[in-house]
Structure 1
Amino acid sequence: MVGVLNTLCGMSVMFLLFNTLGMNYWLSTFIGNAVGATVSYFLNKKFTFRNNASHGQTLWRFIFIILICYFLSYCLSYLISHFLISNLSIKNSEILGNLSILIGNIFYTLINYVGQKYVVFSRKAKTQRV
């Protein structure tokens, strides 16, 4: 439920910024990701991983993982989308951007969950600090 909520928040902002306000791909995905990540941090810390560590112990790791996930996911999706579009001979930049956002969000969600579980909110990291 947490993953669905923060994904919906982030993707809604991305698609709104990209399609309605005409922002470029990188700015739309970065801002949307920041919104989704903010929701994700608080909900994952409290509900998904039930982590009681202080924000000071988890926030910097969270930001680090979020940035890595963002750049890996959205750079990769941008390349894949360009490859797919060029091979399908579609020249519409809106289709390309929306496809890139969708593919990037799939990659981001998968990579981010692993990073949150094993790096940011891991039980091992929590017990080492106690």
Structure 2
Amino acid sequence: MPIELPFDDEEASTSVDLKTQLVRFVATGVLSAVFDFALTLLLQSVAGAPYWLAKACGFILGTTIAYLINRRWTFRAEPSKARFIAVVLLYAVTFFVNIGLYSLLMHEWGSSLVASACAFVVAQGVATVINFVVQRTVIFKIR
């Protein structure tokens, strides 16, 4: 069974309205993105890691945090092996979209802090839209 995050005391349910889900998803995304971007920059700037490797590590950290919070708080879904597998598949797709887009933009725009931030925002934005739509319409409807 996937890791359980004891985020609140209320019983999980899928009856959270769209507005609440969207606000929670964005709040969770901002928190996760801070960890993702911090690790990405740390690995790029301090450790000298290639763009793709630094972003891959940041992505893995950020999406792990996001999944744990979104499953329990945003979508209020019960633990499910089928749902967990679906999330892993979704994150695999968005991993390649995110890392590919970030690497492409970094090569085009250069490696300054501003370029890194802009490339991060664009790549993260595309992945976030994909994640929200698929999680809301498919994954967190799986029983």
SS at match of 1:113: helix
What residue identity is the alignment partner of 2:134? G
Aligned to 1:37: 63
Q: CA deviation at 1:51?
A: 0.4
Task: Write the mapping of 1:53-92 to structure 2, written as runs, cut at 5 A.
Answer: 53-54=79-80, 56-83=81-108, 85=109
Residues 51 and 106 of structure 2 are in contact (CA less than 8 Å); yes or no, is this contact kept in structure 1?
Answer: no
TM-score of the superposed pair, with normalisation by structure 2 = 0.69
The residue identity in structure 1 corresponding to 2:122 is I
User: RMSD over aligned Cα, in angstroms?
Assistant: 2.2
Residue type at the aligned position of 1:8? V
Structure 1, unmatched stretches of 5+, are 86-92
Following TM superposition, by how much is the alpha carbon of 1:120 offset from its aligned partner in structure 2, in angstroms?
A: 2.1
> Taking structure 1 as reference, are residues 32 and 24 closer, same or farther at Cα in structure 2, changes over 3 Å only?
same
Q: Distance in 2 between matches of 1:19 and 1:25?
A: 10
> Which consecutive aligned stretches of 4+ in structure 1 deviate over 4 angstroms post-superposition?
80-83
Aligned length: 115
**Structure 2 spans left out of the alignment, 5+ residues:** 1-26
